[in-house]
Structure 1
Amino acid sequence: MILFLICFILLLLLPDLYIWFSFVRGTAPLLWSIAYWIPTTLALSTMGLWLAGSHPDWMIRLFFGLLLCVSVPKLVFAVISLTGRGIGLAVPHAATVGHAAGILAAAVVCVAFFYGFTRGWKRLETKEIEIASADLPAAFDGYRIVQLSDLHVGTFGSDTTYLRQLVEQVNALHPDMIVFTGDLVNDSAEELDPYLEILPRLSAPDGVFSILGNHDYCTYRHYDTADGAARNLAEVKRRQRNFGWDLLLNESRIVRLGGDSIALIGVENDGRPPFPSRGDLPRAMREVPENAFKILLSHDPTHWRREVLPRTDIQLMLAGHTHAMQLMIGDFSPAGWSYPEWGGIYRENGQTLFVSIGAGGTVPFRFGAWPEIDVITLRRGLPQKP
């Protein structure tokens, strides 16, 4: 943690120092010179307050706004400018081209991130997905499931506009079932206070089912008592049940339609370190008929390769967690550096994984990886090649 903080602070300061000594010092008026350091000073100050346990909404937004719209563009400029200077040792005028290219790239990054910070994280989209399996019972051909994931309601603070819109859009889709695949909050059950009358409005004929994500254990904050996280977790569970959601904690449910049925299985978070691993898939499947069509709700997509693929015949797993790092450019996302399966449909050995990139986020920013409502239509038949 300390090493990470040191590296992070260096990434904030080194571009500033390069720009200061190369372009600002001795050329700008005194007031402009002082003003130059204000964004970085504010970013470091708010980061310090955040680490000390202060989490007001305005402070978090200020920090990430400065980071994304000021510090990152400075870093982009510094890297390109320094590259130009390096090439300039052998190629005349390369340094000048590098400075110009750096300014242009920094401006593009600044505009894109400003959009992602102000509008992109609430640019809600509905995605239609078809998933086919020869094992699907005939009565469930055309069955529609809405998947929501990673709401992180604390990021929206007390502004309920976005979640009201989301609930209205989901209900207007008239799905047969709604599933929520974890991370309802950031780190506290209190984040749900503004939404106690909104989230219960989610409705589907076969019910609303949910599981826990790593953030729902409420361990990402300081507590004055040893049982602080446990009490918060208990309250998150209680409130979900009060919403009318069927919270699956290493459990299963049988959903019937006509004379056919499918099994819905839900496990607690099953992640790689440092994320909690409390999932118990064998326990969750204890009462599932062996020949049933099985749908698994598991927050972390790494669970698919660690246990689901090698040890089960589960036909479909629905996950979230990655958010696609809340950044996509075309088909690229930095989430791919950490997760082999980070967004969309993946198939292997007749089994399918769908990873939602989520409808919220831990920070108020999204670019390219717009928040999504996923409408999954089940089809009986052979799956198409991805």
Structure 2
Amino acid sequence: MLAIILRILLFILFIGLIDWYAYQAFKTLFPTQFWVKIGYWVFSLFVYLFIAYGFLTFNREAMNPNFGRMVSLLILSLIPKLIILTFLFGEDITRFFTGTYQSLTGNKEGDFLPDRRKFVSQAALALAAIPFVGILHGVLIGKYRYRVMKHTLEFDDLPEEFDGFTITQISDIHSGSFDNKKKLEYGVDLINQQESDIILFTGDLVNNHSGEMEPWIETFQKLKAPMGKYSILGNHDYGDYMAWPSREAKVQNLQRLFQIHEELGFKLLRNENLQLQRGNGSIDLIGVENWGKGFAQYGDLNKATANLKEKSFKILMSHDPSHFDEVVKNFSQFIHLTLSGHTHGMQFGIEIPGWIKWSPASLRYSKWAGLYEELGRYLHVNRGFGFLAFPGRVGIWPEITVLELRRK
């Protein structure tokens, strides 16, 4: 108990330090504007009270929307202040050494610590405004800023009948987070506009329970593909992250989720496979349950591929990209293409094609977004269609992937 109290006190002290430094920037730039100083503390107090209220009322079962708002406010408030802290703390170190040098050399002019320089506060606030605006954009617009990412993959052994075959991959719908039907319908229409031969969904239909998808069934039923729609489960689909009144309730929830996949027109693959036929040619589509490093490992690739021919062309749906590195790329059967999701690209990062591609997700996953090739096998990691916890996206936009398969 004492350790918990100590951690809370240290956290409060840390937050207080951040706010004190951020306030110094406003105080330096607006020395006579009393309303600016008061406004700063009123805003900060409101944020902390709302965050405290969000924690106290958080309920996974009820999916309290205050939690998402709380996360947004916390990030919106904290990241700009951390930038200001970095600038002003750095300046204070400089001021300290300058004052110490003046004292040691006998220079008695001025105070021990020189006055805080106005331009440093201006630079700090200007830079802090960039993530503030970016996060605000991500919450208001970015989470529904759908992007179509297209890739063409060539294979020596692709059946001739599948030359030009197109796949639309979507992943991580997280239906419990949606709050705008009109924009969601736009995303669904955009998927259909790709006119792909097949639609593959790589897991996480919900955040925690099947009821989250009920309001959106009619919307997602509109998805169309001439050769069908297929899906797998993600780590959030099993209901492992919430307390159930009984084991039976958890089982019933999962059974209802299976029914919803069927109502949506998706064939759910659970450690199994099927053949996609086109003329006289065929390829094997494999779907495993969730298997992730550090997450639940329900997936069984051996079971899913037990009856397949060794030299058949294979596409695997596996929610977590860590499965590729840990199992798939060295698997006894050659799997040409693996489709994953899960990471969301952390819903935050910087991507400038040909220049930079970074997200905090890269600290956890070596393969976190986009197309990868290793040992002659391809992996595509979708950035996710929806969003989770933080109700926004900054720099990593919701993705609809179109993959075209070509024969070399």
Mark the runs of 5 or more structure 1 residues left unpaired by the alignment: 382-386
Per the alignment, residue 240 of structure 1 pairs with: 261
Identity of aligned residues (%): 35
Per the alignment, residue 269 of structure 1 pairs with: 290
Shift in Å, 1:99: 2.8
Per the alignment, residue 64 of structure 2 pairs with: 56
* Larger Rg computed on CA atoms: 2
The question of whether the paired residues in 2 share the 8 Å contact of 1:144 and 1:175 is answered with yes
CA–CA distance in structure 2, aligned partners of residues 85 and 247 of structure 1: 59
Per the alignment, residue 291 of structure 1 pairs with: 311
CA–CA distance in structure 2, aligned partners of residues 219 and 13 of structure 1: 36
Per the alignment, residue 169 of structure 1 pairs with: 190
The question of whether the paired residues in 1 share the 8 Å contact of 2:176 and 2:212 is answered with yes
The reply on whether 1:101 has 2:127 as its aligned counterpart is no
What SS does the corresponding residue of 2:277 show, helix, strand or coil?
strand
Q: Aligned partner of 1:376: which letter?
A: L
Per the alignment, residue 82 of structure 2 pairs with: 75
CA–CA distance in structure 1, aligned partners of residues 177 and 192 of structure 2: 23
- Which stretch has the larger CA shift, 81-90 or 114-123? 81-90
Q: Aligned-residue CA RMSD in angstroms?
A: 2.6
Q: For 1:279, which of 274, 299, 320 is the aligned residue? A: 299
Shift in Å, 1:334: 1.2
What SS does the corresponding residue of 1:89 show, helix, strand or coil?
helix
CA–CA distance in structure 2, aligned partners of residues 379 and 22 of structure 1: 58
Alpha-carbon spacing, 1:8–1:198, altered in 2? closer, same or farther (3 Å): farther
The question of whether the paired residues in 1 share the 8 Å contact of 2:165 and 2:405 is answered with yes
The question of whether the paired residues in 2 share the 8 Å contact of 1:68 and 1:114 is answered with no
Per the alignment, residue 167 of structure 2 pairs with: 145
The reply on whether 1:347 has 2:373 as its aligned counterpart is yes
Alpha-carbon spacing, 1:8–1:290, altered in 2? closer, same or farther (3 Å): farther
Shift in Å, 1:225: 2.6
Per the alignment, residue 406 of structure 2 pairs with: 379
- Which stretch has the larger CA shift, 315-324 or 214-223? 214-223
- TM-score (structure 1 length as normaliser): 0.89
What SS does the corresponding residue of 1:187 show, helix, strand or coil?
coil
- Which stretch has the larger CA shift, 30-39 or 354-363? 30-39
What SS does the corresponding residue of 2:53 show, helix, strand or coil?
helix
What SS does the corresponding residue of 2:58 show, helix, strand or coil?
helix
Mark the runs of 5 or more structure 2 residues left unpaired by the alignment: 99-113, 352-356
Per the alignment, residue 302 of structure 1 pairs with: 322
- Which stretch has the larger CA shift, 288-297 or 60-69? 60-69
- Which stretch has the larger CA shift, 96-105 or 148-157? 96-105
The count of aligned residue pairs is 376
Q: Aligned partner of 1:203: which letter?
A: K
CA–CA distance in structure 2, aligned partners of residues 52 and 234 of structure 1: 19
The question of whether the paired residues in 2 share the 8 Å contact of 1:160 and 1:194 is answered with no
Q: For 1:205, which of 211, 226, 238 is the aligned residue? A: 226
The reply on whether 1:361 has 2:387 as its aligned counterpart is yes
CA–CA distance in structure 2, aligned partners of residues 338 and 355 of structure 1: 14
Shift in Å, 1:280: 0.3
CA–CA distance in structure 1, aligned partners of residues 11 and 149 of structure 2: 35
- TM-score (structure 2 length as normaliser): 0.85
Q: What are the superposed Cα offsets for residues 76-107 of structure 1, whole Å, 9 maximum, x if unpaired?
A: 22222212222333467886554333211211
The question of whether the paired residues in 2 share the 8 Å contact of 1:120 and 1:365 is answered with yes
Q: For 2:216, which of 195, 211, 217 is the aligned residue? A: 195
Q: For 1:131, which of 144, 147, 153 is the aligned residue? A: 153
